[in-house]
Chain A
Amino acid sequence: MTDRSIPAGELAPEGIYPPTEEMLREPVPEEVQRGQKERLARVWKTPEGWRYWTAVNNSEVGVWYTMTAFVFMLIAGVMALLMRLQLWVPENDLISADLFNQLFTMHGSAMMFLFAVPMFEAISILLLPGLLGARDMPFPRLSAYGYWSFLIGGVFVIGSILFSAAPKAGWFMYPPLATLELGIGSDIWLLGLSFIEVASIAAAVELIVGALKCRPPGMRVNVMPLYAWYVLVVGGMILFAFPPLIAGDFLFELERSFDWPFFDHTRGGDPMLWQHLFWIFGHPEVYIIFLPSIAIAAMIVPTVARRPILGYSWIVLSAVGTGFLSFGLWVHHMFTTGLPNISLGFFSAASEAVVIPTGIQLFAFVATLIAGRVVMTLPMLWIAGALAIFTAGGLTGVMIAIAPFDWQVHDTYFIVAHLHYTLFGGMVFPVIAGVYYFFPFFRKKMLSDRLGRWAFWLIFTGFNITFLPMHLTGLLGMPRRVYTYPEGLGIDWLNQISTAGSFIVAAGFAVFAWDIVRPKKNQPQIERNPWGAGTLEWSHEVPEAKWGVRSIPHITSRYPLWDQPEIVERMDAGRYYLPDAEEGLRETIVTSVIDARPIQVQRVTGPAYITIWAAAFTGGAFILPTFHIYGPAIVSAAFAVVCILYWLWTSTARPPEKDMKDVGLGLSLPTYAAGPQAVGWWAVWITMLGDATAFASLVFGVFFYWTSNTAFPPPGAEHASGYLVALATAAFAAAWALTRGARGLNRAGRVGLARGALALAPLMTLAGMGGFILSVLDLDPTSHVYPAMMWALMVWIVAHGLVGTIMQGYCLAGSLFGKLTPRYDADLWNVTLFWHFLGLTALVTGAMIGLVPRLM
C-alpha cells in the first residue's frame, strides 16, 4: 500500500526497469490476451451513429483535420484557376477588379492559414502517437477543440467570398489600405484568422508535450524519429512566431473597431509596425510550413534506401539551426520600405546564412540515397520531384535575398514564381509523398500506383509550365496582384502558357483527389508493413485496432522494426507495458524528457460533446464582433469559458481511484502527477511562453513608436496616473503572492488558510484590474497613438487578470468540493505557474504605463 503522507505527485515508480530479455521472452497466456483485448477494445471504441462526431481519438480527429485542410486547399486552388482565366488575355473582363482582389487575398490567406499550417498540425496529430508507440496524444480533447475551432473559423473566412464580402487588401493586410477599407472584409480576416491562430497554438502545445513526454520507454532523444525532432522545433517556432501576429491583429482590430490610431500616421501611428509584426510571424511561418514537410521526407528516405538515415545529428542541427535563423529574415520582405541600408544588410546576411542548414538536410537525404539500395516507390517519386522544385526555388531565394536584386523584382511575378517554387517543392510535394506513404497506416488501404504516377507527372509538368515562365513575366515588369494588363508588353504569351499550365496542375489534383476518395471496399487487405519500414508506426494492426498500440514497447534503436527482433510479436501479445485497461479508462505512459524513463500512467480524455460546444461559443466570441455585435459576443465568450471550465472540472486532474498502477513487466507507476512532473503543467508553461511573446510584441510596439516617431510620447502629453498604476501593480503582486502562498499552505495541510488566501487573491486581482482601468481613464485613445498604446496595454492586463481570477476561483472551488486536496494539488500548481507569468506581466505593464513614458 502506498504511503498516504506523501503527496500523490511525489510518488516514485516502483519495480523493475528496464525489462530483461527473460521477462520479454515469457509468453502471455492466450486467455489473458483475449481478455485484455476485449477490455482495450471497449475502452477505445469509436462512438457510433451521430455520436461519431464526439470522438476525440487522434485517428479520427487527425483524419477530419487533414481532409478539411485538403478541401480548403482545393477551394483556394479553384480561386487560383479563376485568376489565371482572367489573365488569359490582355484587357480581359471575365471578372471584376474587385472580385480579383478578393480572390488573390483569399487564395493566399487560405493556402497559408487554412491549408499549410493546419496541415502540419493535422498530419502530426494523425502520425505522432503511431511514431511514438503512444495510445493517443496527451490532450485528446484539446485536439478536438482545435479541430472544431479550425472548421468553424475556416468556413467563416472562406465562405465570405460567396457573399462578396471577402478581405481584399492582400494576404498580408497592409495598412493604411486595409485599415481604411470599407466593408467587413478586413475584420473577417483579422478575427477569423486570429481564432484559427489560437487553435494552431493549442495544437502546438499538444504536439510539443506529445513529443517530449509521450515517447515509449527507452526512446531517448538520440533515437527518436526525426519527425519528432521536427515537431519539437516547429512547435517551438509556432510559439514565438504566431503571438506577434496575434498582438498585431489585436492592435489592428482595435483600430478598425474603435479608431485607435496605431497605424494612422496623422495621429502618431505607423503602418510599419504592422509590417514588422506581420513578417516576424510571416517569415518563420514559411519554415513552419517547410520543416514538417521535409520531416516527411526524412521518414520516407531511409525506408526507400533500405538503410538508416545518414547524418542524423546533422539533420537535427539543420532543423534546430533553421528554426533559429528563420527569425532573422523577416525584413527581407520589406527591402523596399526605405529602412536604412545597413539594417537591410543584416537581414540579407541572415537570409544567405539560412541556406546552410537548409542545404545540409537536403545533402543528408541525397547521401542516404546514394549509400542505400533505392527502391523507386511512388512516395519517393514525389520526394524526388520535391527536391528538384525546392532547389530551384531556393536558388531564386538566394538571388532575392540580395537587396539590390530584390529592389528590381519586388512585387513582380518573379516573386510569385519564387514563392510557389519553394512552397510546392517544400510543402505540397512532400506532403503528397507523405499521403501516399502513410495512407496504408491511417486508412489500412493502398492508394493506386498508376493514378499516383499520373497525378505526379500532371502536377510536376503542369507546375513547371505555370511557374517557370513567371520568372520571365516578372523580369519583364508585370506586377503581382493586377487584375489585367495592356497588350503589347511582351507578356501576353507568357501569361497564356501559365494559364494553360495551371489547368494541367488542376487535372493532376483531380486525379489525386479521386484516388483518395474513390471507394476501396473491394481492395484486398494490405500487408502490415507494405514499405518494409523500420519505424514504430508500421507495427500498426491490420485491420485497424482503435487502441493504437496493443502494448507500449521498450525501445532501444532508431529503427526498432529492423533492429529489435520479435518486437511486433511481443507488442501484439501484450508482452510490453499497459497491455490492459482493467479500470476501463483510456491510458498512455508518460516518460521523462531526455531518456524516456517511464514515470507515470496518464489517464486521457474520451469522447465528448463539450469540446464542440466550447469551440462553437469561442467561435461566436470571435465572429460576432466582425459585425460589430458586441453584447452577444461577450455572452458567447462567457459560455465558452463555462464550457471549458466544465470540461476541465469533469475530466482533468481528478484524484485517481488508486495511486499506483501495475503496468506490466514488474513495473508500477503513479497515476497522478503535479507540478513539473505533470503533462498539464508543461502545457501551461508552453502556452504562457507564447502568451508572453505576444505581450513582448506589444512592449516592442511602444519602443518602436519611440524610435520611429520623434514625438512619442508627444510633448506635453497627459500621462497615466502614477499612483494608481503603482497601486494596481502592488495589488497584482499581492494576488500573485497569495496564490503562491496558497500552494504551499495547501500542501502543508493547512487547508483553511489556503482557502482564505484563494478567496482573498481574486479580490486583489480585481482591485489591480480596477486600478489599471482608472489610471488611463482620462486619456483619450482616439486622439493619438500614445494614449492608444497605454489603453491597449491596460486591456491586455485586464483581460489576463480576468482569466487569473477565474483560475483562483476554480482552485478555491476545487478545494471546497474535494477535487483539490493537499495530496492532489495539480490544479494549484498549474494556476501558480500561470500567475508567475501574470505577475511578471503586471510588473512590466506597470513600468510601461507608469514609468517608461515619463523617461522617454
Chain B
Amino acid sequence: MDRSDHDRQPHPREDEHEFAEERESLWRITLGPTIWAFHFAISYAAVSVYCFRFERMFEMGWLRASLIAMTLAMLVAIAWIGWRAFLRWDVRGTGEFSNPEGSAEDRHQFLGHAGFLLALVSFIGVVYDTLPLILLGSCR
C-alpha cells in the first residue's frame, strides 16, 4: 500500500490545492445528510403550505404522489453516493475496516467510510420521513 504520501512538500496555497484533490470526498461525507435535510424541509414545507392554504381547493393525492416520487429519486441519489463512498473506503481491496494511520491513503479511505455510513443513516432517515406520507392520507 502506498504510504509514501507522508513525504510531500507543502504546496503553495495548500488549502486550495487540497480542496481540489479531496473536494469531492470532503463534501461527499455531508452529501447524504444534506439530501435528507432537503427531503425533510421540502416535504414539511409542501405539506404545511397545502394544509394551511390549499386544502379546500384540491385533493392531497397528487401532492403525496409527487412527494413520494421525489423521495424515490432522492433515495436513488443517496444510494449512489453511498456506493461511491463504499468504493473509496475500499474495504474489499485492502481488507482494512478501519484506517487509523496518518497517511494520505488512510485519510482517503476514512473519508470514504464515513461518507458511506452517513449515506446509510440518511437513507434510513428519508425512509422514516416518508412514512407519514404513506400512512396518513390527509392533513388531519
User: Chain A interface (Cβ within 8 Å of chain B)?
Assistant: 10-13, 16-18, 218-223, 308, 311-314, 316-317, 320-321, 324-325, 327-328, 339-343, 345-346, 348-350, 352-353, 356-357, 555-558, 592-595, 597-599, 676-677, 707-708, 710
Query: Which among B12, B43, B102, B117 is the interface contact of A220 at CB below 8 angstroms?
Result: B102
Query: Which among A308, A346, A595 is the interface contact of B100 at CB below 8 angstroms?
Result: A308
User: Judging by beta carbons under 8 Å apart, are B129 and A676 in contact?
Assistant: no
- Chain A nearest CB from B15 CB (Å) reads 5
**Residue contacts A-B, CB under 8 angstroms, 11 given:** A223-B101, A317-B114, A340-B48, A345-B135, A346-B129, A349-B128, A556-B6, A557-B101, A592-B18, A707-B49, A710-B53
Closest to B26 in A: A594
In whole angstroms, how far apart are the Cα atoms of A313 and B111 in the complex?
8
Closest to A313 in B: B113
Given A13-B10, A220-B102, A558-B100: A350 and B128 within 8 A (CB)? yes
In whole angstroms, how far apart are the Cα atoms of A314 and B132 in the complex?
29
Contacts of B26 in A (CB 8 A): 594
In whole angstroms, how far apart are the Cα atoms of A314 and B13 in the complex?
32
User: Judging by beta carbons under 8 Å apart, are B100 and A321 in contact?
Assistant: no
User: Judging by beta carbons under 8 Å apart, are B102 and A218 in contact?
Assistant: yes
Within 8 A of A (CB), among B19-65: 19, 22, 26, 29-30, 33-34, 36-37, 40, 43-44, 47-49, 51-53
Given A328-B40, A346-B132, A599-B15: A556 and B125 within 8 A (CB)? no
Give the dominant DSSP class at B's interface. Answer: helix
Closest to B112 in A: A313
Contacts of B40 in A (CB 8 A): 328, 346, 350
Contacts of B128 in A (CB 8 A): 349-350, 352-353
User: Judging by beta carbons under 8 Å apart, are B100 and A677 in contact?
Assistant: no
User: Judging by beta carbons under 8 Å apart, are A349 and B129 in contact?
Assistant: yes
Contacts of A219 in B (CB 8 A): 102
In whole angstroms, how far apart are the Cα atoms of A677 and B138 in the complex?
53
Given A340-B139, A599-B15: A557 and B102 within 8 A (CB)? yes
Of residues B10, B53, B129, which shows the largest number of chain A Cβ atoms within 10 Å of its Cβ? B10
User: Judging by beta carbons under 8 Å apart, are B15 and A342 in contact?
Assistant: no
User: Judging by beta carbons under 8 Å apart, are B114 and A320 in contact?
Assistant: yes
B1 at the interface (CB under 8 A from A): no
Contacts of A327 in B (CB 8 A): 37
Given A222-B99, A320-B33, A350-B128: A343 and B12 within 8 A (CB)? no
Given A341-B140, A595-B104: A222 and B135 within 8 A (CB)? no
User: Judging by beta carbons under 8 Å apart, are B114 and A316 in contact?
Assistant: yes
In whole angstroms, how far apart are the Cα atoms of A314 and B133 in the complex?
30
Contacts of B121 in A (CB 8 A): 317, 321, 325, 353, 356-357
B2 at the interface (CB under 8 A from A): no
In whole angstroms, how far apart are the Cα atoms of A31 and B139 in the complex?
79
In whole angstroms, how far apart are the Cα atoms of A350 and B53 in the complex?
25
- Chain B nearest CB from A221 CB (Å) reads 6
B92 at the interface (CB under 8 A from A): no
User: Judging by beta carbons under 8 Å apart, are B124 and A341 in contact?
Assistant: no
Query: Which among A18, A312, A324 is the interface contact of B7 at CB below 8 angstroms?
Result: A18
Given A328-B40, A340-B140, A343-B51: A598 and B10 within 8 A (CB)? yes
- Chain A nearest CB from B49 CB (Å) reads 5
- Chain B nearest CB from A13 CB (Å) reads 4
Contact residues on B (Cβ < 8 Å of other chain), bracket: 35 or more
Closest to B21 in A: A594
User: Judging by beta carbons under 8 Å apart, are A342 and B117 in contact?
Assistant: no
In whole angstroms, how far apart are the Cα atoms of A334 and B58 in the complex?
27
Contact with A along B76-108 (1 / 0, CB 8 A): 000000000000000000000011111110110
- Chain A nearest CB from B4 CB (Å) reads 11
Query: Which among B6, B100, B114, B136 is the interface contact of A557 at CB below 8 angstroms?
Result: B100
Contacts of B125 in A (CB 8 A): 325, 328, 350, 353
Contacts of B33 in A (CB 8 A): 320-321, 324-325
In whole angstroms, how far apart are the Cα atoms of A313 and B101 in the complex?
13
User: Judging by beta carbons under 8 Å apart, are A595 and B107 in contact?
Assistant: yes
- Chain A nearest CB from B131 CB (Å) reads 6
Given A327-B37, A350-B128: A592 and B100 within 8 A (CB)? no
Given A222-B99, A320-B114, A350-B40: A594 and B133 within 8 A (CB)? no
Query: Which among B12, B51, B99, B118 is the interface contact of A321 at CB below 8 angstroms?
Result: B118
Contacts of A597 in B (CB 8 A): 8, 10-11, 14, 18
In whole angstroms, how far apart are the Cα atoms of A342 and B102 in the complex?
48
* Known contacts A340-B47, A356-B124, then 13 further A-B pairs from the complex at CB < 8 Å, ordered by chain A residue: A18-B6, A222-B99, A321-B117, A324-B30, A324-B33, A324-B37, A328-B37, A342-B47, A353-B124, A353-B129, A558-B100, A597-B8, A676-B15
In whole angstroms, how far apart are the Cα atoms of A383 and B102 in the complex?
29
In whole angstroms, how far apart are the Cα atoms of A317 and B22 in the complex?
18
In whole angstroms, how far apart are the Cα atoms of A230 and B125 in the complex?
21
User: Judging by beta carbons under 8 Å apart, are B102 and A555 in contact?
Assistant: yes
User: Judging by beta carbons under 8 Å apart, are B12 and A12 in contact?
Assistant: yes
Contacts of A677 in B (CB 8 A): 13-15
User: Judging by beta carbons under 8 Å apart, are B114 and A17 in contact?
Assistant: no
- Chain B nearest CB from A612 CB (Å) reads 34
Of residues A17, A219, A308, which shows the largest number of chain B Cβ atoms within 10 Å of its Cβ? A17
Contacts of B131 in A (CB 8 A): 345, 349
Closest to A308 in B: B100
Closest to B117 in A: A317
B9 at the interface (CB under 8 A from A): yes
User: Judging by beta carbons under 8 Å apart, are B114 and A313 in contact?
Assistant: yes
In whole angstroms, how far apart are the Cα atoms of A636 and B124 in the complex?
52
Closest to A682 in B: B15
Contacts of A220 in B (CB 8 A): 102, 104, 106-107
Query: Which among B13, B48, B111, B132 is the interface contact of A345 at CB below 8 angstroms?
Result: B132
Query: Which among A16, A218, A222, A592 is the interface contact of B110 at CB below 8 angstroms?
Result: A222
User: Judging by beta carbons under 8 Å apart, are A592 and B114 in contact?
Assistant: no
Contacts of B22 in A (CB 8 A): 594
Contacts of A340 in B (CB 8 A): 47-48, 51, 139-140
Query: Which among B10, B15, B51, B98 is the interface contact of A593 at CB below 8 angstroms?
Result: B15
In whole angstroms, how far apart are the Cα atoms of A12 and B13 in the complex?
7
Of residues B16, B36, B102, which shows the largest number of chain A Cβ atoms within 10 Å of its Cβ? B102
Contacts of A16 in B (CB 8 A): 9
User: Judging by beta carbons under 8 Å apart, are B111 and A223 in contact?
Assistant: no
- Chain A nearest CB from B34 CB (Å) reads 8
- Chain B nearest CB from A392 CB (Å) reads 23
Contacts of B37 in A (CB 8 A): 324, 327-328
Contacts of A223 in B (CB 8 A): 100-102
Given A222-B110, A707-B48, A707-B52: A556 and B102 within 8 A (CB)? yes
Query: Which among A221, A328, A555 is the interface contact of B129 at CB below 8 angstroms?
Result: A328
User: Judging by beta carbons under 8 Å apart, are B18 and A324 in contact?
Assistant: no
User: Judging by beta carbons under 8 Å apart, are A346 and B43 in contact?
Assistant: yes
In whole angstroms, how far apart are the Cα atoms of A312 and B7 in the complex?
25
Given A12-B12, A317-B118, A353-B129: A556 and B101 within 8 A (CB)? yes
